[in-house]
């Protein structure tokens, strides 16, 4: 089995000057494609179960799916809870075999966010797994706006919570369909100088590819969460298949047609972020 913790893939990324893709999953078809893409690129991958995924499939089932897929490849695979909002949700993920918990207290006052994230981090560390926290709310396209991350607050948050990775708000936005969400690189640099923890960009689909690569290779950003970009590829492939073959009704046969387009898209994302240490 190649199942590992988030810390085990992000610490080498920080030292080696590259980033790891946090692939937001919705079901078996996409998570299988992501793992195969990572295997072909000989790169680590983070399988992420976000709120919409968990609303469709229970965490205990997702944990088994992630762990099964990790057994099929030779590259490191992280089973990651994305945007866990409660301690109970994090406990269920831990009991379900996840190797990383992301607790999102970014909407809460700083001290409350620190206290609650520190509690989850301690719980994770006692169990031998990792914890990601978020400081500075990352907004949503057509939804609540981002609040931004204050470098001093980031330094305090990182120190007081002992998280293994820290998500920051630096111009990134969830659910952007176009790559027009350029990030504030000066702010990223300042946060990086005040902290030693790997940084995480949520809403990575909206970040221009050139900027993703530059930050992956030349900053403390070690993880980009990619969801919308891949869902669009999946949706397009599914739509084309149904349109071109209107008499098909077997969903297994229909869903098979999404595999290659999603795998190729995932490979391209990984290739943009990953730089082997020997390179």
Q: Please give the positions annotated as active site.
A: 82
**CA distances in angstroms from 121 to 112, 229, 243, 253, listed in the order given:** 14, 30, 47, 42
What is the four-CA torsion angle of 222, 228, 231, 236, rounded to 10 degrees?
-130
**CA distances in angstroms from 79 to 48, 168, 195, 201, 222, listed in the order given:** 7, 21, 25, 18, 17
**CA distances in angstroms from 230 to 220, 233, 236, 248, 255, listed in the order given:** 24, 5, 10, 24, 15
Residue 5 CA to residue 98 CA, distance in Å, equals 9
């Amino acid at each position: 089995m190649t199942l590992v913790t988030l810390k085990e893939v992000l610490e080498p990324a920080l030292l080696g000057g590259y980033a790891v893709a946090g692939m937001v999953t919705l079901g078996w078809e996409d998570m299988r494609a992501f793992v195969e893409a990572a295997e072909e690129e000989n790169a680590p991958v983070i399988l992420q179960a976000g709120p919409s995924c968990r609303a469709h499939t229970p965490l205990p089932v997702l944990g088994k799916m992630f762990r099964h897929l990790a057994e099929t490849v030779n590259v490191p695979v992280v089973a990651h809870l994305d945007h866990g909002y409660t301690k109970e949700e994090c406990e269920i993920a831990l009991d379900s075999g996840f190797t990383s918990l992301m607790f999102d207290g970014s909407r809460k006052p700083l001290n409350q966010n620190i206290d609650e994230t520190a509690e989850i981090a301690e719980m994770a560390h006692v169990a031998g797994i990792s914890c990601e926290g978020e400081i500075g709310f990352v907004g949503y396209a057509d939804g609540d706006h981002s609040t931004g991350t204050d470098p001093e607050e980031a330094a305090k948050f990182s120190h007081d919570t002992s998280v293994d990775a820290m998500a920051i708000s630096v111009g990134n936005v969830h659910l952007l369909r176009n790559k027009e969400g350029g990030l504030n690189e000066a702010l990223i640099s300042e946060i990086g100088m005040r902290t030693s923890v790997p940084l995480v960009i949520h809403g990575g689909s909206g970040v221009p590819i050139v900027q993703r690569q530059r930050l992956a290779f030349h900053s403390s950003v070690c993880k980009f969460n990619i969801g919308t970009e891949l869902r669009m590829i999946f949706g397009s492939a599914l739509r084309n298949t149904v349109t071109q073959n209107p008499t098909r009704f077997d969903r297994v046969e229909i869903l098979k047609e999404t595999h290659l387009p999603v795998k190729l898209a995932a490979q391209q994302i990984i290739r943009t972020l990953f730089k082997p240490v020997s390179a």
